[in-house]
Amino acid sequence: MMTATNVLPERRARWRISFSAATSWVLRISIALILVAGVVGSILKDRYSADQWFDLVAFGITIGSVYALIALGYTMVYGVLRLINFAHGDIMMAGSFAGFFIAASMERSGFLDQHPVLAFAAMLAVAMLVSAGIAVLTERFAYRPFRHVRGLAPLICAIGVSFFLQQSFRGFFGAGLRSYPDPVWLRAPVSLFEFNVPAVQVLVVASAIVVMLVLYLIVHKTKMGTAMRAVSEDVETATLMGIDVNRVVTFTFALGGAVGGVAGVFYGLVFKQVYFFMGFTPGIKAFGAAVLGGIGNVPGAMIGGIFLGICESLAPALLLDGLGIPAPYQMRDLIAFTLLIAVLIFRPYGIFGERLAGKRG
Amino acid sequence: MTHQPLLQVKDLHVFYDQIEALRGVSLSVDERAIVTLIGANGAGKSTLLRSISGILRARSGSIKFAGASIEQAPAHLIARTGLAHVPEGRRLFAKLTVDENLRMGAFRRNDRRAIEDDRERLMDMFPRLRERTAQISGTLSGGEQQMVAMARALMSRPRMLLLDEPSMGLSPLMVDFVFDTITKINGEGITILLVEQNASLALQIATSAYVIESGSISLQGSGVSLLHDERVREAYLG
Ligand SMILES: Nc1ncnc2c1ncn2[C@@H]1O[C@H](COP(=O)(O)OP(=O)(O)OP(=O)(O)O)[C@@H](O)[C@H]1O
Ligand SMILES: [Mg+2]
């Protein structure tokens, strides 16, 4: 009797595992087949010139580096608090607005066109300050009370903060689209490897690389950055070192917010518009990029963001067109979210397969 | 002038939810002493150390360190008063390098020159760490990890060190090294509260010692007297 009842559930469990493994493999193989069919189809159709391919890749890298900057905020906050800051996309939106207002006033006075470097620096500085400030306030007043609360409450609170920020901006600045200033120095195309690239894209990618480099140095070479990584591994032991965890958390939100503000300005410059809901989609995509790179992993977020950007930029032409899907460019977001779902199914720990740091005090 | 111990714990009661893990523990540690605390698994040794360093909050009782009441202070502030806790299981920041771990030990200090000097002295004390400063500390051997854990604590220039089972899981040779090091550290004027399973060695180096059983102190005396106590020999020295 005893053995019979013991054996049965075990067998069933084993069968269930092999069943789920089988479905997962069927899924994998069909995805691979769709990918191959789409790519082969696209290549056979031969609808795009080398110029157009280059444009797509360049745009992918551009938007990807913006995603990467946003993803860094998610990943750093997750690293120290194990919290998904769902309001982070809206913090980026706030930075975009801040950059917009500065740029608009400089445009009126003519400063924007006359002093490109100063104007650009001013936009970034103000956006960083505003986003960092909002991020720090968000943590202090919305997340800190939930610091030691388990379960879904902190996450729901984060979603609430996201709506709060969106609706505040809507309330103060209206629901309409505003077009981002478009200074002359961003209009001229730059020639790169015999291809022409819009100056905006060159500027965005180059600045994003600088920002990421600086961020990497902060996280890996400064005392506060090292403390961030220490807190991320073991809060309790970090406090035994005399580290004030609250200060580290504030620093992390400020850093992530500042980088998000930069991303907001870039996003505005690339798509040439701002509105209160603009943070939502790139926010979720960047969260996906952070997961893609292994959430909590700083270089992973950078690579995940750029990878996602290239995928969503190339996939319509390279994949959907070949599958005969009409209007493939409307499906960019779908591609990004499909990729996110696929990552969650097949590689929940990200493409680098790094597991999250185990316990937390 | 009445004699003031460096650390004085009085009638400490600590709970995990409903379970009382410390039932009125009192203990005192004189400046420059080595005080050993022995007890069976689950007796409450780590709980006591964690309460002293502020990770756990006592329900009642008092803890005085260097004349100040610290039972209500947050852990990071207690650490800044010169109390360094080397936790059970070493708890290195496993993804950080050895050097980064040491720098976290010196987190509160800004005297660069002196930090460099201390690091250099610790490399002399733990020579095996010298060629491993850039190694990710999670990949070190258990003995090396214990050295990093102790060195990290010493980087804060503590007045007192709380050591929770520093010899756990180490080879006999490494155990001897750890105990020699503890004596050496104490010789430099650092007060030590040592929790150990290895009762014989720990009592030999102790100025005074306590035995804890189910959350209460059951015996106390000089290290030597406990070493020869019948009850201790039976229960802890086998
Ligand atoms: N986080 C916790 N939650 C609930 N109970 C705990 C917790 N930590 C310890 N305890 C309980 O408190 C008691 C004392 O534990 P403690 O870790 O202090 O023992 P110890 O003397 O250090 O033992 P060991 O020699 O095994 O390290 C034990 O009964 C243990 O189960
Ligand atoms: Mg213990």
For position A82, which CATH number holds? 1.10.3470
In a domain, A354, yes or no: no
As a whole number, mean pLDDT of residues B17-45 equals 95
- Cβ contacts below 8 Å, chain A against chain B, sum to 66
Over its C-alpha atoms, chain A yields an Rg (Å, rounded) of: 23
Nearest one of A172, A175, A181 to A99, comparing CA atoms: A181
Q: What span, in angstroms and rounded, lies between the C-alpha atoms of B192 and B194?
A: 6
- Domains of chain B and CATH, by start: 1-82+158-238 (3.40.50.300), 93-157 (no CATH)
Can you tell me which atom of ligand 1 is nearest the CA of B45?
A: 21
In a domain, A268, yes or no: yes
pTM beyond cutoff 0.80: yes
- Residue A141, burial from CB neighbour count under 10 angstroms (0-12, 13-18, 19+): exposed
In a domain, A110, yes or no: yes
Q: Which two tokens stand for residue A54?
A: 């280059």
In a domain, A68, yes or no: yes
Q: Are B86 and B53 in contact (CB under 8 A)?
A: no
Mean pLDDT, consecutive 10-residue stretches, chain A (361 aa), reads: 47 62 81 79 75 86 96 93 93 96 89 87 96 96 88 88 94 90 82 82 93 94 96 96 96 97 95 93 93 87 93 81 71 81 77 49 30
**Which residue(s) pair with B193 in the sheet?**
B35, B162
Residue B182's CB: how many other CB atoms inside 10 A? 23
pLDDT reported for residue A15: 57
Q: Does ligand 1 lie within 6 Å of residue B129's CB atom?
A: no
Q: What is the DSSP string of A70-100?
A: HHHHHHHHHHHH----TTHHHHHHHHHHHHH
Nearest one of A309, A298, A282 to A350, comparing CA atoms: A298
For residue B228, give how far its alpha carbon lies from the nearest alpha carbon of chain A (Å): 35
Number of structural domains in chain A: 1
For residue A207, give its domain range: 48-346
pLDDT reported for residue A2: 43
Each residue of B79-126: pLDDT tens digit? 999 999 999 999 999 999 999 999 999 999 999 999 999 999 999 999
In a domain, A23, yes or no: no
Q: Which two tokens stand for residue A220?
A: 């890996």
Q: In a mutagenesis test of the B interface, which of A219, A229, A237, A297 is the best target, namely the one with the most B β-carbons within 10 Å?
A: A237
pLDDT reported for residue A352: 67
DSSP run (H or E) holding B221? strand B216-222
B152 contacts chain A (CB < 8 A): yes
Q: Are A162 and A126 in contact (CB under 8 A)?
A: no
In a domain, A15, yes or no: no
Q: What span, in angstroms and rounded, lies between the C-alpha atoms of A335 and A344?
A: 14
Q: What span, in angstroms and rounded, lies between the C-alpha atoms of B228 and A219?
A: 54
- Greater model confidence, B196 or A31: B196
Nearest one of B113, B114, B150, B148 to B134, comparing CA atoms: B148
CB contact (8 A) between residue A242 and residue B79:
yes
Task: Provide, as residue numbers in chain B, all residues whose Cβ is less than 8 Å from the Cβ of A245.
Answer: 76
Q: Phi/psi class of residue A66: alpha, beta or left (left: φ > 0; alpha: ψ in -120 to 50)? A: alpha
In a domain, A351, yes or no: no
Q: Which two tokens stand for residue B54?
A: 């502020």
Nearest one of B237, B224, B206 to B40, comparing CA atoms: B237
- Greater model confidence, B220 or A354: B220
**Which residue(s) pair with B27 in the sheet?**
B9
- Minimum CA distance residue for ligand 1 atom 3: B16
Residue A113 three-state SS: helix
As a whole number, mean pLDDT of residues B164-191 equals 95
Q: Are A282 and A71 in contact (CB under 8 A)?
A: no
In a domain, A164, yes or no: yes
Q: Phi/psi class of residue A86: alpha, beta or left (left: φ > 0; alpha: ψ in -120 to 50)? A: alpha
Q: Which residue of B has its CA nearest to A239?
A: B76
